[in-house]
Chain A
Amino acid sequence: MTDDMNRALVLAVFVAAILAGSAGGAGPSPGIAPGSAGVLSHNGKVRYVALRAGRGTLVEAISTGDGIVRHMRYLKGFYGIPMVAYDGSTGGLARNGKRLVVYAPSRGIGRDTTRYVVLDPRSLRVRSRITLTGNFGFDALSPDGSLMYLIHLKSANGSGFDYEVRALDVNTGRLFPDAIVDRREPDEKMTGIPLTRVGSDDASWAYTLYAKQSAGAFVHALHTTAREAFCVDVPLNLGGDELGHVRMRLRGGSLLLRFRGRTVATIDTRSFEVKR
């Protein structure tokens, strides 16, 4: 399947999710990557994938240059590399290359647990297993992989999702109390669907473009070491299907939002001021 086809597929899922409101219990989290793309190491030399193998999952570390499987680990149950946005962006690999997270999404609200397995990417040995009661997705990792950010879907109904971002201490397997909110607007509920993601080179910031359920878009800027987040409304004047084609990139101290080859908005990553 080509990249375009993959993107079309996930966008189709995204549109379906929007239309269905809360269909499938996936909520705002895109879930897990369906195998092929996996997640790439920072230096681009190793790709990690999780493939279904009978009643289990085969996690592999594949050398990109020659396609040789360098390491593999069989896990009981169905796990996947986390997707972090509906454009197919994936996550789960710590910037320092010492932790890889795969997870098994919950099956639905009300009867759900979410399971995470933390692996050592160098050997694919299991470092720890974390089981949470509730419907969680994966959002981001701190650069050393000691902090994991999760999307906690609290409820879903016809009017939309009710979710929050939570931080988890990977060393203890425990959630930090309280949600990660924009302290400038602590009462504003997060709503929306993650469309695309870009991270700072040191992985201390994760910027995610969300489509709001009402209309419009915002960028969620997550400081992955400080457990802080900021929501930045971005007036883009694009239709819902056009939003799905916006891409982001970091240049200097700016986050550029690009649509069909042109910059449609620029966000100062220090002040979060938006320029068009």
Chain B
Amino acid sequence: MRRALVLLTILGAWAAVAAADGGGPSPGLDFGNGIVAPGGKLRYSALSDGRTTVLESVVIGTGRVRGVTYFKGSWGIPRVTFGGDTGGLSRDGGNLVLATWPGFPKTRFLLVDAHTFQLRGRVRLPGSWSFDAISPDGSLMYLIHYLGSPSQIYQPYDVRAFDWNTLKLYPGAIVDRREPDEKMTGQPLARTGSPSGWAYTLYSRVKKPPFVHALDTIHRRAFCVDLPWSHSGKWIASVRLRVRGGTLELRRGGRTVGRMNTKTLKLG
């Protein structure tokens, strides 16, 4: 337990420093909040003491533990934003990804059957990676690959796609083909998804406008849409996203402060 706390402190500090410098985009792993299954009846949590990880599903409303298993090692449900959003559960509710902490020479991921907790796949990737998104059926996983040295705080990164059926990475990074040379930077602050498999993430950048990263998790394509603000003020951290009809709404304090058409990616 103590070791886990030390690790958390170190990694928390790493994430915080990185965020302050506008580089490290990984929010790390969740610690207790878990992720809610589609339908809202179950919550999955992964809890680790550093040596062992207990994965459990808890019935919302009663707090009863419905399923439980444990894995050797320290695993967690991935956070996908600094706002506390978690990911890793496919929209069909059948697959759950667990990850080790990024920032080490190797990063490992597990794919678990969310109903039975049986292990469906495992992969160990050289370098520092973190989870970004999963396709609706759980067959494709999107990862952030940190390209700098482990000691480097400012971390340029790529988004990569991983096929759980073949256990292989797709070649090449997932980039906005309209601007293929633009490097991705920024910190993820808010996330929402759509039933059609899109993951929308609000990113802030130092001295640059915030942007929405729209990732099509089925067809492995992404688009970056700069938002019409001159810089990413602190207020941007309180913006939340939601999809309503064909519109992505940016909401703050109960008001809609921005809209994006999800088909044309035009701001309204």
Interface positions, chain A 64-91, Cβ under 8 Å from B, are 64-70, 72-74
Partner of A35, one of B1, B47, B65: B65
Please measure, in the bound complex, the distance between the C-alpha atom of A74 and the C-alpha atom of B74, giving whole angstroms.
14
Q: Which stretch of A52-60, A105-113, A134-142, A261-269 is in the interface?
A: A52-60
Q: Give 6 closest A-B pairs by Cβ, nearest first.
A: A47-B63, A54-B52, A64-B63, A67-B43, A67-B58, A74-B49
Residues of A within 8 A of B54 (CB): 51, 53, 58
Q: Interface readout for B47-74 with A: 1 if CB under 8 Å, 0 if not?
A: 1010111101011111111101010100
Please measure, in the bound complex, the distance between the C-alpha atom of A52 and the C-alpha atom of B71, giving whole angstroms.
11
Nearest B-chain residue to A52, judged by Cβ: B70
A86 to chain B, nearest CB (A): 19
Partner of B60, one of A36, A53, A60, A66: A66
Residue ranges of A at the interface with B (Cβ–Cβ < 8 Å): 35-38, 40, 46-47, 49, 51-56, 58, 60, 62-70, 72-74
Do residues A51 and B59 form an inter-chain contact, with CB atoms below 8 A?
no
Interface contacts beyond A35-B65, A65-B63, A69-B47: sample of 19 additional A-B pairs, CB < 8 Å, sorted by A:
A36-B68, A54-B51, A54-B72, A56-B52, A58-B54, A62-B65, A66-B60, A67-B36, A67-B43, A67-B58, A68-B32, A68-B33, A68-B45, A69-B33, A69-B45, A70-B32, A73-B1, A74-B1, A74-B49
Indicate whether B138 reaches chain A with its CB closer than 8 angstroms: no
Interface positions, chain B 18-50, Cβ under 8 Å from A, are 32-34, 36, 42-43, 45, 47, 49
Residue ranges of B at the interface with A (Cβ–Cβ < 8 Å): 1, 32-34, 36, 42-43, 45, 47, 49, 51-54, 56, 58-66, 68, 70, 72
B206 to chain A, nearest CB (A): 33
Residues of A within 8 A of B47 (CB): 58, 60, 69, 72
Most chain B CB atoms below 10 A, which of A38, A46, A52, A69: A69
B12 to chain A, nearest CB (A): 18
Most chain A CB atoms below 10 A, which of B45, B51, B63: B63
Instruction: Give the secondary structure class of A's interface.
Output: strand
B58 to chain A, nearest CB (A): 4
Please measure, in the bound complex, the distance between the C-alpha atom of A36 and the C-alpha atom of B58, giving whole angstroms.
9
Do residues A67 and B42 form an inter-chain contact, with CB atoms below 8 A?
yes
Please measure, in the bound complex, the distance between the C-alpha atom of A64 and the C-alpha atom of B60, giving whole angstroms.
6
Do residues B61 and A64 form an inter-chain contact, with CB atoms below 8 A?
yes
Please measure, in the bound complex, the distance between the C-alpha atom of A26 and the C-alpha atom of B28, giving whole angstroms.
44
Please measure, in the bound complex, the distance between the C-alpha atom of A49 and the C-alpha atom of B45, giving whole angstroms.
14
Do residues A72 and B32 form an inter-chain contact, with CB atoms below 8 A?
yes
A107 to chain B, nearest CB (A): 22
Residues of A within 8 A of B68 (CB): 35-36, 51
25 A-B pairs with C-beta separation under 8 A = A35-B65, A36-B65, A36-B68, A38-B65, A46-B63, A51-B70, A53-B53, A54-B51, A54-B52, A56-B49, A60-B47, A63-B63, A64-B61, A64-B63, A65-B60, A67-B43, A67-B45, A67-B58, A68-B32, A68-B45, A69-B32, A69-B34, A70-B32, A72-B32, A73-B1
Nearest A-chain residue to B62, judged by Cβ: A64
Residues of A within 8 A of B51 (CB): 54
Do residues A68 and B34 form an inter-chain contact, with CB atoms below 8 A?
yes
Residues of A within 8 A of B53 (CB): 53
